[in-house]
Structures are given as structure tokens and as C-alpha cells.
Amino acid sequence: MKIANIDALEAFHKDKYSFCLYKFMPNLKTDVAVIGAGPAGSTTARVITEHGFDVILIEKDEFPGMTNVCAGGTLRSVIKEAGLSSDIIEKVTQAERHYFPWGENEIKVELITVYRHVFDRCLAEKAVEKGAKMLTKTQIRDVSVKNDGVQMFSGENTIDSKLVVFADGPNTLAYRRFGIGFKPELDKTFVSLTCEIQWENNPLNHCEFHYGNHIVPWGYGWVFPKRNTVNVGVGCIYSKLSSNLIDSMNYMLNNYPLTGEKFKDMKILQRSSALIPAAPAKRIFGERMLVVGDAAGMVDPVTGGGIMHAVNGGKLAGKICAMSLEAEDFSPKFLSQYQDMWHKTIDHQWIYNKFLASNVFLYLSRFDRNAYPKLAEVTREGIGKVLRHRKQ
């Protein structure tokens, strides 16, 4: 089945199954409670259930991905490894086009685009199929840790568990309540604004990245095509915002020579905004708790991409939860191996090395207004290739 447009996407998933299994049960108990049903949370829940333990997956919205802000680009392997149908793929693109202040560069690479409200729901459905219980329209307002477990409180439910996993995004309760996970700071947080533009059967077969102070001083504008829509967005590090991000978006849509002619008369279906981590969290574990995904800063600090890292982080978090339950050891010492193992992954090394590079270029931005575009070029192609290209 091929999904043609946003309305069809909604129809495809409507009443497919009931997410809200426990809405009117005030007191719930489980082995693990996972707060947040994005890619990290749903993957964590699925892995835990595959090990034979009980999980409640808690989502603040009516369904997973409902309010997610994302261009929707990732690798085909993410879909395959998650066991999802290729039907959710909107478009396969064959190249990235990077528009720098000094010229254009095309990189031949295959990416796929998805609607996040479809992708996230499908991931959550996989967790439910494996045995996870889903609780929607539930905002966890407080968490307390006791000697015999963890207790979570929402407006309608109290949930008791042996472990809790925070997968609740960059404004995570883990940091606000326990001081672990991602800490939002002005120079470590991106602000993003996106819009979904209607363009039936659009011919675009590449993703675009646009750099320069005429768009944003530290960040970029993007164009990610789907079959019948195009996601256009802008993102900037919070500390470098010099004007309203809406102005940057309007420039991309109406006046920017490389995109304005394509989009200025097209219908905008949806606008949304969100914060994106631009730094890895210093600590992602505590007594009876783990942090994963955006809540743990598992995001590329240069591009803001995080779907693949979130899924891989969720796999590891689920594995460690299962190990903890099998050993009946929920201590920080036991759970610290989660952070130790994450730091050895390619995902973390990629994130951390780009974070170090971004700090250097952020300092250089005091003297060079093109510091971010240079950072993007160096981290995408490697310093050696960039220097050879410049000499040609």
C-alpha cells in the first residue's frame, strides 16, 4: 500500500489499534515505565518486552509523533532494522545539495524521507505488538524514587515501576527533577521552525542545505521532499539568534533566490517549532533510571539529526533495562554501564567529535561570519577532502 498524502496517512492509521489502554485506571504497576513514545522511547519499550518484561509506554499526545518537529530524513537501514514496512517511505532521494556562501557542493548519498507522525506511530505499534502497554494523552508531572521502586504522577494516573526511562525530549523531566540528561543552554540548543508545503507529485529527488548569514548566523535552512509535500525549515543555535526565526523562514519561502521562486505561491499545510539538543548529556543514568534520545542529547550537534541515534540509543537502553531486571540490581553503579557502553558506540563518537568541533568553530565565529558553513563542510566531508577541493 502506498500512502499518497497527509489525509491518506491519517486514514491509514485511524482506528488501526487503540493506543490508550489504561486511560481510566488510576493506579498502574509495571516493570519499566518509558516516558515518551518517540523513536528512542518506543524502541526501548520494544526491546524490553522482547526480553519478557512488562512495559508501559507513556505518550503526552493523542498519538506518537503528533506534534513532532522534524524534516523526516534518515537512512533506509533505520526502517529495515526497526522491522517497519517500506510503505512508510515517502521518497528516496539520491543526493544532498549544500549551498555555501562560496559555492554549491553535491554529495551523492541515498536518504529516505518519512512523515514523523507515521514513522513514530509505526514504531510504537511494534512495541505494542510485542506486548508493551500504551498510555496516551498523559503528561508525567513528577517522578519520585523510593527504596522499593519509582513512582510517577500525572493528572489522572499514578504509575509504579522498578525502572523509569526518560525519552521525553530536550526539556526532559530527568534534568529538571534529577539533574541528569540534556541541560538546555543558550549555546547548546537549536531553535527550529518548519513548515510542510503542499506540492503534488513534486519532482525533487535531492535534499537541500542552505548556509549563510542571510538565512541564519549559526545553522542552516533545509528542503526535504516527500511525494506530495516538501518540508522547508530553518534552525539556529539559540545564543546566535539575532532576529525572529519566522523572518528567516519567510525569506526561504518568498525572497531567497534559490528557494523563493519554488515555494512563494504554494500552500502551507502546517507550521511548527521545537528545540533541538546541540550537545551530548554529561550523565544519562541514575538510581532506577536511564535517559535516552533527545533527552540524553543523542543528536548530531551540527545538523540536528537524531532519528538513527535515537533508535540505536533505545536498543541499548532496552538491553540494559532487561539486564537490570534480570539481576534485580537498579543501583547507579549497575546502570552506569549504560553510559559506558553508549560512549563506546559509533553513534556517541560521531556526536561527541562533532560537538568538540562545533565548540571550536563557535569560538571562531567571533571573527569569521562563515564559521558555521565551514564547520558544516568540514564535518560532512572531512578536512582533507575539503582542502583538496578548495585547491582545485
In a domain, 380, yes or no: no
CB 88 within 8 A of CB 122: yes
In a domain, 167, yes or no: yes
Residues 59, 104, single domain; the answer is no
What cell does 180 get? Answer: 541528569
pLDDT tens digits for 83-93? 899 999 999 99
In a domain, 377, yes or no: no
In a domain, 199, yes or no: yes
In a domain, 306, yes or no: yes
**Can you tell me which residue has the cell 541514575?**
286
pLDDT tens digits for 39-82? 999 999 999 999 999 999 999 998 888 888 888 999 999 999 88
In whole angstroms, give the CA distance from residue 58 to residue 156: 13
Kindly provide the b/e burial profile for residues 194-216, where b requires at least 16 CB atoms within 10 angstroms of the residue's own CB.
bbbbebeebebebbbbbbbeebb
In a domain, 292, yes or no: yes
Residue 25 pLDDT: 63
The mean pLDDT value for 27-40 works out to 96
Kindly provide the b/e burial profile for residues 275-314, where b requires at least 16 CB atoms within 10 angstroms of the residue's own CB.
bbbbbbbebbbbbbbbbbbbbbbbbbbbbbbbbbbbbbbb
Residues 139, 62, single domain; the answer is yes
Residues 166, 42, single domain; the answer is yes
> By percentage, how much of the chain surpasses pLDDT 90?
83
CB 158 within 8 A of CB 151: yes
Confidence of residue 348 (pLDDT cuts 50, 70, 90): very high
Instruction: For residue 144, count CB atoms less than 10 angstroms from its CB and return exposed for 0-12, middle for 13-18, buried for 19 or more.
Output: exposed
Confidence of residue 266 (pLDDT cuts 50, 70, 90): very high
Instruction: State CA 77 to chain mean position distance.
Output: 16
pLDDT tens digits for 302-312? 999 999 999 99
- Of 159, 130, 131, 162, nearest to 146 by C-alpha is 162
In a domain, 358, yes or no: no
Residues 82, 150, single domain; the answer is no
pLDDT tens digits for 140-186? 999 999 989 999 999 888 999 999 999 999 999 999 999 999 999 99
Domain count, the chain: 2
Residues 206, 234, single domain; the answer is yes
Residues 159, 139, single domain; the answer is yes
Neighbours of 171 (CB within 10 A): 15
**Domain of 195: which CATH number?**
3.30.9.10
DSSP 227: S
Residues 197, 167, single domain; the answer is no
Residue type, 223: V
**Domain of 154: which CATH number?**
3.50.50.60
Residue 13 pLDDT: 40
Residues 171, 27, single domain; the answer is yes
CB 174 within 8 A of CB 181: yes
CB 193 within 8 A of CB 231: no
In a domain, 266, yes or no: yes
Residues 140, 46, single domain; the answer is yes
Residues 269, 125, single domain; the answer is no
pLDDT at 7 over 70: no
What cell does 366 get? Answer: 567571533
Tell whether the torsion through CA atoms of 56, 62, 65 and 68 is positive or negative.
Answer: negative
Total length of the chain: 392
> Residues near 352 by Cβ (< 8 Å), separated by ≥ 6?
280, 343
Residues 120, 255, single domain; the answer is no
Residues 109, 215, single domain; the answer is yes
* Among 277, 311, 338, residue at a domain's last position: 277
DSSP 267: P
> Residues near 165 by Cβ (< 8 Å), separated by ≥ 6?
32, 33, 34, 35, 41, 44, 289, 290, 291, 292, 317, 321
Look up the domain containing 234 and give its range.
73-114+186-277
Tell whether the torsion through CA atoms of 109, 293, 194 and 6 is positive or negative.
Answer: positive
* Among 222, 251, 277, residue at a domain's last position: 277
